[in-house]
């Protein structure tokens, strides 16, 4: 499989290339040159298969010659054996034809583990094979950072620098990163928003010297391998609910558009998806886009679902690329317009798969309380946004509706307790998390300061100085 940049000015790469590169050198994102197709027969053949096996089968075409089918399956099986549910991504029924898919059974209690735990192994192997080191630079609205820190801690060939917006992530999210003692993990609180953090990362990735000297790698959802790994659970759920003979709809709590874009990819591969609902909190750039076709930046507002407090959704560019007929010149124009004026317009009437819906803070709390009262199931605030959107945008009741449950409620215990009076407990393995010492530096929202920090603190930066 070849991967091309959405902006058309970086060279095409194979899977291992995009795994190591993250963002393309022209500022674009890598997408597969074509969508591999899943036939009806192939989908039927997935029925009843364990998660790792299904994922290996569905995703193998994206890897090309990078790994053999057996080697890939072995990595997936080893990864998901470490999750705390044998179904890996179990479906829980909440209504006559309404389900949640629990994606929080990995080590850091959010769906990011589904891809990141595999990515850690894939990157480590690829670097070892090339005898190379890498410096991971990432921005997190909370859960990506925790997932990356867990997936990469202690790895010999990799340093991790993880930026988060100071004071804007939950205490559990922060402590999952800052209490990790391994020397290769570096936490940085930025005095700004998540979008500021993401912009800093983008800026440094566009400095060719720094990128080369530190061998910068990205594990944000802009890394294709993460999106790819997320495709598997859409297929897993749809097959369990009757695909290819029935269509299925998904409601996806959305921030950076990575998770829902994986659903889009599954649909492009031939999975019968009726609707994809982009469920947002009041940071609703995507919900507005799917309502009126205008992609217009707003102010980032803090909410009780902080992992979705995003107004510039990096992965959206991948979707735009398809929407403009895979014309990179058009993508460059639109992204330039967005950079300059903060908005662009695409006619939304061509869109039939996606719908958007925004959910306010009070509605989110009410949804947590209602779901608890009616079903006994405890939703975290992100999942509750998805559930409220699923209710509002429910189409044909005969089509199963699956809401992606993106985090364990204990990750956002304060908000959940406030909403329904029940305090979710952290799983036993997190005992003591709130008491351990933290390691983190605070830096201003300034690319030059961050560059100096990376050069002086990373192993590759220090080696370069010594040379
Ligand atoms: C990251 C995250 C989201 C948003 O996912 P995107 O891929 O950024 O759209 C939603 N919920 C939780 C709990 C998350 O961690």
Q: What is the pLDDT of residues 39-76, one digit of tens each?
A: 999 999 999 999 999 999 999 999 988 889 999 999 99
Domain total for the chain?
Answer: 2
Domain co-membership, 381 together with 441: no
For residue 85, give the DSSP letter: S
Domain co-membership, 340 together with 231: yes
> What residues contact 267, with CB distance under 8 A and at least 6 apart?
273, 276, 353
Domain co-membership, 153 together with 250: no
**Position 173 in a domain:** yes
Asked if residues 385 and 253 have their Cβ atoms less than 8 Å apart, the reply is yes
Instruction: Tell the residue nearest (CA) to atom 12 of ligand 1.
Output: 406
Asked if residues 8 and 31 have their Cβ atoms less than 8 Å apart, the reply is no
**Position 389 in a domain:** yes
Instruction: Tell the residue nearest (CA) to atom 2 of ligand 1.
Output: 307
**Position 176 in a domain:** yes
Tokens standing for 440? 């983190």
Tokens standing for 228? 């790819």
Ligand 1: does its nearest atom lie under 6 Å from the Cβ of 318? no
Choose the weakest-confidence range: 55-59, 95-99, 185-189, 199-203: 199-203
Ligand 1: does its nearest atom lie under 6 Å from the Cβ of 221? yes
What confidence tier does 340 reach under pLDDT thresholds 50, 70, 90? very high
Tokens standing for 136? 């991971």
**CATH code, domain with 262:** 3.40.50.1100
Q: Model's pTM, two decimal places? A: 0.94
**Position 416 in a domain:** yes
> What residues contact 408, with CB distance under 8 A and at least 6 apart?
104, 109, 110, 380, 424, 427
Choose the weakest-confidence range: 111-125, 128-142, 262-276, 395-409: 128-142
Domain co-membership, 274 together with 318: yes
**Position 36 in a domain:** no
CA 154 / ligand 1 centre spacing (Å): 25
Tokens standing for 463? 């080696």
DSSP assignments along 157-174, one per residue: TEEEEEEEETT-S-HHHH
Q: Is 65 a catalytic residue?
A: no
Distances (CA, A) of 82 to 86, 107, 222, 312: 9, 8, 25, 33
Q: Please report the pLDDT score of residue 399 as a whole number.
A: 98
Q: Please report the pLDDT score of residue 349 as a whole number.
A: 67
**Position 376 in a domain:** yes
C-alpha span between 269 and 256 (Å, rounded): 22
**Position 50 in a domain:** no
**Position 236 in a domain:** yes
- pLDDT of residue 156 exceeding 90, the answer is no
> Which run of H or of E encompasses 128?
helix 112-130
Rounded CA Rg of the chain = 21
C-alpha span between 37 and 381 (Å, rounded): 35
> What residues contact 187, with CB distance under 8 A and at least 6 apart?
145, 149, 162, 164, 177, 178, 439, 440, 441
As a whole number, mean pLDDT of residues 142-153 equals 93
Residue to mutate (ligand 1; options 221, 259, 287; most atoms within 8 A of CB): 259
Q: Please report the pLDDT score of residue 74 as a whole number.
A: 97
Q: What is the pLDDT of residues 412-450, one digit of tens each?
A: 999 999 999 999 999 988 888 999 999 999 999 999 999
Closest-CA residue to 301 (of 228, 389, 361)? 361
Q: Please report the pLDDT score of residue 142 as a whole number.
A: 76
Asked if residues 252 and 278 have their Cβ atoms less than 8 Å apart, the reply is yes
Query: What range does the domain containing 204 cover?
Result: 133-220+437-467
Asked if residues 35 and 265 have their Cβ atoms less than 8 Å apart, the reply is yes
As a whole number, mean pLDDT of residues 177-203 equals 94
Q: Please report the pLDDT score of residue 324 as a whole number.
A: 95
Domain co-membership, 442 together with 339: no
Ligand 1: does its nearest atom lie under 6 Å from the Cβ of 195? no
Domain co-membership, 201 together with 213: yes
Ligand 1: does its nearest atom lie under 6 Å from the Cβ of 261? no
SS3 100: strand
Choose the weakest-confidence range: 3-7, 40-44, 141-145: 141-145
Domain co-membership, 392 together with 243: yes
User: Among residues of the chain, what percentage have pLDDT more than 90?
Assistant: 83
Q: How many CB atoms lie within 10 A of CB 92?
A: 13
Q: What is the overall mean pLDDT for the chain? A: 94
Q: What is the pLDDT of residues 161-171, one digit of tens each?
A: 999 999 988 88
Half-sphere exposure of 38 (CA within 13 A, CB side): 30
CA-CA-CA-CA dihedral for 257, 262, 263, 264, to nearest 10? 80
Instruction: List, in sequence order, every residue forming a beta bridge with 139; answer none if it has no partner.
Output: 163
Domain co-membership, 263 together with 355: yes
Ligand 1: does its nearest atom lie under 6 Å from the Cβ of 113? no
CA 303 / ligand 1 centre spacing (Å): 13
Q: Choose the catalytic residue: 112, 202, 411, 465.
A: 112
Domain co-membership, 212 together with 313: no
Domain co-membership, 230 together with 332: yes
CA 260 / ligand 1 centre spacing (Å): 9
Q: What is the pLDDT of residues 236-293, one digit of tens each?
A: 999 999 999 999 999 999 999 999 999 999 999 999 999 999 999 999 999 999 999 9
Domain co-membership, 444 together with 414: no
CA-CA-CA-CA dihedral for 60, 64, 66, 67, to nearest 10? 30
Q: What is the pLDDT of residues 353-397, one digit of tens each?
A: 999 999 999 999 999 999 999 999 999 999 999 999 999 999 999
Domain co-membership, 307 together with 266: yes
Ligand 1: does its nearest atom lie under 6 Å from the Cβ of 253? yes
Which atom of ligand 1 lies closest to the CA of 254? 9
Tokens standing for 81? 């054996």
Residue to mutate (ligand 1; options 283, 406, 424; most atoms within 8 A of CB): 406
């Amino acid at each position: 499989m070849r991967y091309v940049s959405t902006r058309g000015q970086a060279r095409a790469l194979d899977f291992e290339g995009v795994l190591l590169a993250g963002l393309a050198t022209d500022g674009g994102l890598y997408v597969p040159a074509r969508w591999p197709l899943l036939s009806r027969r192939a989908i039927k053949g997935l029925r009843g298969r364990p998660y790792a096996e299904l994922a290996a089968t569905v995703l193998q075409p994206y890897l090309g010659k990078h790994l053999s089918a057996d080697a890939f399956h072995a990595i997936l099986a080893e990864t998901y054996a470490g999750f705390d549910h044998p179904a890996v991504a179990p479906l829980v029924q909440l209504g006559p034809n309404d389900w949640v898919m629990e994606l929080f059974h990995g080590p850091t209690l959010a769906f990011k583990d589904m891809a990141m735990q595999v990515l850690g192994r894939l990157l480590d192997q690829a670097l070892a094979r090339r005898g190379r080191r890498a410096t991971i630079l990432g921005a997190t609205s909370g859960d990506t950072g925790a997932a990356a820190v867990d997936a990469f801690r202690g790895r010999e060939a990799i340093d991790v620098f993880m930026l988060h917006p100071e004071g804007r992530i939950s205490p559990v999210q922060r402590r999952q990163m800052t209490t990790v003692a391994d020397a290769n993990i570096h936490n940085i609180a930025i005095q700004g928003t998540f979008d500021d953090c993401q912009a800093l990362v983008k800026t440094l990735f566009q400095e060719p010297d720094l990128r080369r000297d530190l061998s910068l790698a990205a594990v944000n959802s802009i890394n294709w391998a993460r999106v790819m790994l997320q495709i598997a659970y859409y297929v897993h759920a749809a097959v369990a609910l009757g695909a290819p003979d029935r269509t299925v709809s998904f409601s996806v709590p959305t921030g950076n558009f990575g998770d829902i874009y994986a659903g889009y990819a599954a649909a492009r591969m031939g999975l019968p998806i009726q609707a994809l609902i982009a469920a947002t909190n009041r940071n609703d750039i995507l919900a507005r886009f799917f309502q009126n076709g205008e992609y217009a930046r707003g102010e980032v507002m803090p909410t009780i679902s902080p992992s979705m407090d995003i107004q510039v959704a990096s992965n959206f560019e991948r979707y735009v690329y398809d929407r403009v007929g895979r014309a990179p010149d058009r993508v460059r124009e639109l992204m330039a317009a967005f950079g300059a004026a903060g908005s662009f317009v695409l006619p939304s009437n061509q869109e039939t798969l996606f719908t958007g819906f925004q959910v306010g803070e009070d509605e989110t709390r009410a949804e947590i309380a209602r779901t608890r009262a009616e079903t006994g199931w405890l939703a975290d605030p992100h999942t509750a946004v998805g559930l409220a959107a699923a209710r509002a945008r429910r189409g044909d009741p005969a089509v199963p509706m699956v809401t992606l449950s993106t985090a364990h409620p204990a990750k956002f215990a304060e908000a959940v307790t406030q909403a329904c009076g029940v305090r979710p407990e952290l799983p036993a393995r997190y005992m003591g998390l709130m008491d351990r010492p933290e390691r983190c530096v605070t830096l201003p929202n300034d690319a030059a300061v961050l560059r100096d920090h990376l050069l002086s603190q990373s192993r590759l930066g220090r080696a370069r100085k010594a040379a």
